[in-house]
Structure formats: C-alpha cells, structure tokens
Amino acid sequence: MRARPTAPADSPSLLRRMNSAHVLEVIRERGPISRAQLARETGLSKPTVNEVVERLLDATYVEEAAPADGHRPRRPGPRGRLLRFRADLGHVVGVDIGADKALALVADLSGRILARERRAVSEQARAGQDPLLREVRATARAALRAAGLGADGLRAVGVGTPGVVDPASGRIMLAPQLAGWEGLALGPRLQRTFGCPVVVDNETHVSLLAEKWRGAAQDVRDAVYVQVGVGIGGAVLVNGELYRGATGAAGEIGYLAGDGDGAPEYGAGPFEWAAGARAYARLGARAAERPRAGALLRELAGGDPAAVTAQTVFAAAARSDAAAQEVVTELTRRLARGVAGFVTALNPELVIVGGGIANAGPALLEPLEAGVRALVPVPPRIELSRLGDESVALGAVRLAADVADASLFPLAAGAAS
C-alpha cells in the first residue's frame, strides 16, 4: 500500500485534522459539554466548532443529546444540547506483568476502569515463558469476564513488562527477573490470543505514561520517574513526551555504578543491587543477626534473620530501632547518589518515585530529598507516586488507548483529510 503524501503545514486538510483532534480531545476530557462551552475551551470560532462537531457526529465519534435532569441547573429558555464522547465504541486492556503478580485492567475508550483482575504469579509460572504467558492470558480474560465483555469489542491491549523492549524487533532484553523472557517477542505472542493490536513497553516507561495521564506529571513537561523495587529503573519525560532512546533502553539506571557491597547477583545491575529491595534484605539480615541490636528485626521476621525484607526494615525503623534506621540511612544515601546522577544529566522539574520501596512514604522521601539536594546543582521537586501498585497497568491502559485512537479516529488522528 502506497503512503499518502504528507500535507503541507499550512494546508486546509491539516488544519481541519488539527481542529478535529483538539475538539475531540476536549469533548473526551471535559464532556458532556455544550457547543458554546466547547468554543470557549478550544479558542476556536463558533462556526469552526460547529463544522468540526458535525464531522465528528457523522463519524459517530461523539453523540449529542439533551442534558439529563440535574446535570445542569434549569434556566429560562430552551435547554442546550450536550456533546459526549462515544467511549463505548470499544474497550482496551492494560496488563502489568511482574515477578510476583499479573494485573489486568479493562477500560472504555475514555479510560474509565470497568474491571480489574489481579493474580499472584506462582513460582512454577515464573520458571518458564509458557507458564507465565498462560497466567497473563488467564488474568486478562478474567478481567474481561468481570467487565461483562468478550474479545470481540477489544480494540487494543497494552502491556508493561520488566526488561528493555527493542523498538525495532519488539523483543525483550535485560529481564533477569523472569525466566525465559529475554528474546521473547511478547506482542505477537499475545496478539494471536486477543486478535487485536498488542503494544508492549518497559514497565517503568509505562508507569511514567500513567503519571503524565493521571498522576503527578500531568502539568509537567520535563520529569523523571524512578521505580525502586527489587530492581531500580527509570523513565524520562522530555518536553512532554516519553523518551525511550535509540534502542528502548533510556532510563536503565539500575546498571549505573553502585557503591554497595559485593558483586551483583541474579543478573542485577550494580546500582539496583546496591540500593534496591535485595540490599534491604541483605543489610537487614546482617543487622538482625546481632545478638542484642537486631532483636526487633528478628522478631518482626519471625525469628529468622534470612526472612528480613525491605518492609521489615522500614517497620522496625518506624519503631525507632537503631539497627534498622542505620540500614535505611545507608541505603537511602546510596539511592540518592544514583538519583542525583540521573537528575544532574537531565535537569528535570520533577522526580517521581514509585515501586514497592516507595510504600515507605516519608521515611524514604525525606532523606532522599535531602540527599539529592546536597548533590545536584539545581534540585528538582521530588514526589512519591500517588498511583499505587496499579501504575504499570494504568499506563498500559493509556498505551492501548493511544493505539485504539489511531485506528478508530483517523479523522482526528490525522490519517484522513
């Protein structure tokens, strides 16, 4: 199929598409909305708004109806009609594939979440590619059933996964958390199951998309996201757009130099080995082995120092346990050094910290802010993610919705004049 010629920047067809995209987005985000209000919100003239609206109505992207009683206060004169985005034209699924869970969200085209399904990933499923794929498929299908939907109305599936997703081949690299995952072309494998486009990206990149859509980065153009869990990953927002890098590996800060103890194991990068969840477990276990100083850590770990986790360490630190506080201080210092390098190179307005370790709240945020501020020439604002552990799946919904938009709304997306 031959590519269509690109319209000149000042062509009427391009202007119509731009106006259509702008009007559709405002209806989608602010609707139900009147034509008069739409003109005010978009800054377009009333004749232009009417022309665009008629095209959108003809294409069935929006619908127009009298407001329901109670939606607007009654006023003298005829009641205006309101425009509403047709969010029911299709549905999307966002999937988070993790080392310990699979989570699927089903949403309409406005991003409203209709159903969710979370399943723990068993050790057996983590041991190989096919068992984990079966678990992912089962989780997504269960979410669709919970929403009362079948696969026939599914427009796209978005997936967030550990590892780097090569933009040219779609294959996954650097995913030591999941056995057999490296080299997998995940999108095509899942597309055969769902019969619709499947788009796959790194879990941290997808989390930043969620933050830009509904989180801390909504009004920010330059930001970085730092995910701190078993691994440590990053994502970069430049001028309002996600930056993935030449091979999709932008933000892989887990592979920065670490100042921790010993050589990394399990395929981990030096920085994540030094400052991620496994570091809390290692240093916490050593502290718990001290006969007197480690008593509270041992108690919280059920008497077994080897069972100490990051959650154990923060719980003990919250009770003013000196041994646990030493661990938190040391590992927050290490984390601050790595984040400071990330920040110095990119000069973001905002740093968003997510992942399991971020659940520690102020106990992590306050020393991290102080540590980064002391090391960088222009300190950014630092916030913890407010999206919780659904951030990856929510970002995957946004990823899928963008794909669905491009196919469903060519008039507004620019594929038609």
Taking the C-alpha atoms of residue 71 and residue 63, their distance in angstroms, rounded to an integer, is 16
pLDDT for 219 equals 93
Taking the C-alpha atoms of residue 102 and residue 393, their distance in angstroms, rounded to an integer, is 9
- Ranked by mean pLDDT, the top range of 19-23, 139-143, 151-155 is 139-143
On the question of pLDDT at 5 being above 80, the answer is: no
Q: What is the pLDDT of residues 49-102, one digit of tens each?
A: 999 999 999 988 899 988 765 555 444 444 578 999 998 889 999 999 988 899
Q: Return the minimum-mean-pLDDT range out of 104-118, 122-136, 204-218, 242-256.
A: 122-136
Taking the C-alpha atoms of residue 14 and residue 8, their distance in angstroms, rounded to an integer, is 7
User: In the chain, what percentage of residues exceed pLDDT 70?
Assistant: 92
CATH 3.30.70.100 for domain 12-85: no
pLDDT for 69 equals 57
User: Token digits for 179?
Assistant: 């056995």
Across 4-18, average pLDDT? 60
The CATH code of domain 90-209+392-408 reads: 3.30.420.40
At 411, the pLDDT band (50, 70, 90 cuts) reads: low
pLDDT for 263 equals 84
Q: How much is the pTM?
A: 0.87
pLDDT for 95 equals 98
320 Cα distance to chain centroid:
34
Taking the C-alpha atoms of residue 23 and residue 275, their distance in angstroms, rounded to an integer, is 46
On the question of pLDDT at 414 being above 70, the answer is: no
What superfamily does domain 218-386 belong to in CATH?
A: ATPase, nucleotide binding domain (3.30.420.40)
On the question of pLDDT at 38 being above 70, the answer is: yes
Q: Return the minimum-mean-pLDDT range out of 22-26, 317-321, 369-373.
A: 22-26
On the question of pLDDT at 417 being above 70, the answer is: no
On the question of pLDDT at 377 being above 60, the answer is: yes
Q: Give the up-direction half-sphere exposure of residue 349: CA atoms within 13 A in the CB hemisphere.
A: 11
| Cα-based distances in Å from 221 to 53, 208, 217 | 30, 12, 8
Could you tell me which of 271, 376, 265 has the C-alpha nearest to residue 334? 271
90-209+392-408 and 218-386 have identical folds? yes
Could you tell me which of 133, 121, 128 has the C-alpha nearest to residue 179? 128
Q: Which residue is associated with the tokens 């499947």? A: 198
pLDDT for 405 equals 86
pLDDT for 408 equals 78
On the question of pLDDT at 415 being above 80, the answer is: no
pLDDT for 68 equals 67
On the question of pLDDT at 167 being above 60, the answer is: yes
The residues spanned by each domain of the chain are 12-85, 90-209+392-408, 218-386
At 11, the pLDDT band (50, 70, 90 cuts) reads: low
At 407, the pLDDT band (50, 70, 90 cuts) reads: confident
Q: Count Cβ atoms below 10 Å from residue 328 Cβ, excluding itself.
A: 23
pLDDT for 146 equals 96
**Average pLDDT over all residues of the chain:** 89
On the question of pLDDT at 47 being above 90, the answer is: yes
Could you tell me which of 69, 73, 61 has the C-alpha nearest to residue 31? 61
H helices present in 106-215, as ranges: 123-126, 129-146, 186-194, 203-214
pLDDT for 239 equals 96
Taking the C-alpha atoms of residue 220 and residue 358, their distance in angstroms, rounded to an integer, is 21
pLDDT for 261 equals 77
At 341, the pLDDT band (50, 70, 90 cuts) reads: very high
pLDDT for 75 equals 47
Higher pLDDT: 346 or 87? It is 346
